[in-house]
Chain A
């Protein structure tokens, strides 16, 4: 078994995707009053699965595969939303809940990274810390 196994890499991908999603959700909140704006979002689980899949295709230099995929996966959320009189489809409650939820998940992932590092530290220090 390797010391630095896949766990930290997975957490890193998850954090990246959560931040990417946070950016989209933030822009939905910022455009809550823009006429004709349709909120965008992507399915985190799907994006994660896609990022985890071994990427056969070559990635552009200096660009991680997961982020490019997540951005491309962002879909306008037309279902479950009613357009306002200005054709804006942002539902303030939905947008804020998604924002808070995504932020919490990010925190959970960050904590998971902390735990993993703590385990490594414990092992590295002969169990004295």
Chain B
């Protein structure tokens, strides 16, 4: 375990938070999209995050439970809750009774998600900064 692998842990955190921001912005942009690629109303998406041991237990010589963990985006979960229906008979996607099913996106949730992801991103960036300072100090030993 050296400086660079620790940087990679932070990088995995940055990537995970960026994925959260990507999906939250996609959800926000499609808050009113009534027709997706499958013809159905857009459904909001969330990343599934998983902690992954950063190096194999063989490499580090310690048990898998005790070593530093990076974070991995395991996949994207599609929120299956139903969107609310609005009566709008003139809408091209209205059903037989004149109701349009809107996406299950709540903009308030998405913005909260965005802010939380931004804070976590900054925390990871700060961790990188600390590590860089440490590496610099190690390099300058004996100068």
Contacts and interface: CB of A to CB of B under 8 A. Distances in A.
A72 B13 contact: no
Interface residues on A, range: 35 or more
Interface stretch (B86-94, B104-112, B134-142): B134-142
Contacts of A71: 1, 60-62, 66-67
Determine the main DSSP class of A at the interface with B.
Answer: helix
Nearest to B63: A72
A110 B5 contact: no
Contact of A30 (B5, B13, B130, B134): B13
A67 B131 CA distance: 18
A117 interface: yes
B70 to A, nearest CB: 6
A20 B1 contact: yes
A12 B120 CA distance: 32
B51 A34 contact: yes
Nearest to B49: A34
B9 A30 contact: yes
B66 A74 contact: yes
Given A30-B124, A33-B16, A37-B51, 9 more contacts: A26-B6, A27-B70, A30-B9, A71-B67, A72-B63, A99-B130, A106-B137, A114-B142, A114-B143
Interface of B: 1-3, 5-6, 9-10, 12-13, 16-17, 20, 49-51, 54, 60-63, 65-71, 116-117, 119-120, 123-124, 126-127, 130-131, 133-134, 137-138, 140-143
